[in-house]
Copies of this chain bind each other. A is one copy, B any other.
Amino acid sequence: MCPRTKIQFEVMREVRRSRILEAAIECFANSGYHSVTISELAVHAGISKGLLYNYFTSKEELLKAILQEILKLMMQLFDPDQTGDLERKDLVHYLETLVTHLKSNLIQWKMYMAIFSQPAVQLILAEEIKAYSGPPLGMVEAYFRNKGCLRPDVEMAFLSTLISGVIFEYISDPENYPLDQIKDRIIQMY
């Protein structure tokens, strides 16, 4: 009736939407995209199946929304506001941040791996991924070039390898993987 109602509605919608996303991330991460049914998602989010379709037009759209959400969160780790050149402390900071993030957002990272290693999904999101990951990688390469590396591109790939490996191993067995020690071991190298 009154304008406030409209705003309230929008806030409610946003809250609801977030709750659905959150529930879906958890379900997908635990059981995989295909194994989770819309019914389960609805129950988990505390709403009805029909209402879910009021927020996402299909299961696949829901997946896309999640992946973009996650991508966004991840890319923030790269300190996109950085203006000047990358320095050693930035790398250290990045690693620290990554480790912290991994620990506190395990489910999202699990989901990230579970989803992105699916060939079908990779096709769907190939462009988004490139769009996001492009610029920062260039900065890293520049960093190694400035440092006088003979093969800055290889050095960058090596760093990517390390990071992928850390994520993969930690996610595979969070209880036993010595995340902090490995982080220190890496920092030591640079």
Contacts and interface: CB of A to CB of B under 8 A. Distances in A.
Contacts of A158: 182, 185
A21 interface: no
B181 A154 contact: yes
A151 interface: yes
Size bracket of the A interface: 35 or more
A90 to B, nearest CB: 21
A114 B31 CA distance: 14
A174 interface: no
A38 to B, nearest CB: 14
Q: Which of A110, A119, A165, A178 has the most CB of B within 10 A?
A: A165
Given A32-B118, A32-B120, A117-B117, A178 B157 contact: yes
Contacts of A97: none
A155 B181 CA distance: 9
A168 B178 contact: no
A67 interface: no
Interface in A145-190: 151, 153-155, 157-158, 160-166, 168-169, 177-178, 181-182, 185
Nearest to A179: B157
A114 B110 contact: no
Interface of A: 29-35, 110, 113-114, 117-121, 151, 153-155, 157-158, 160-166, 168-169, 177-178, 181-182, 185
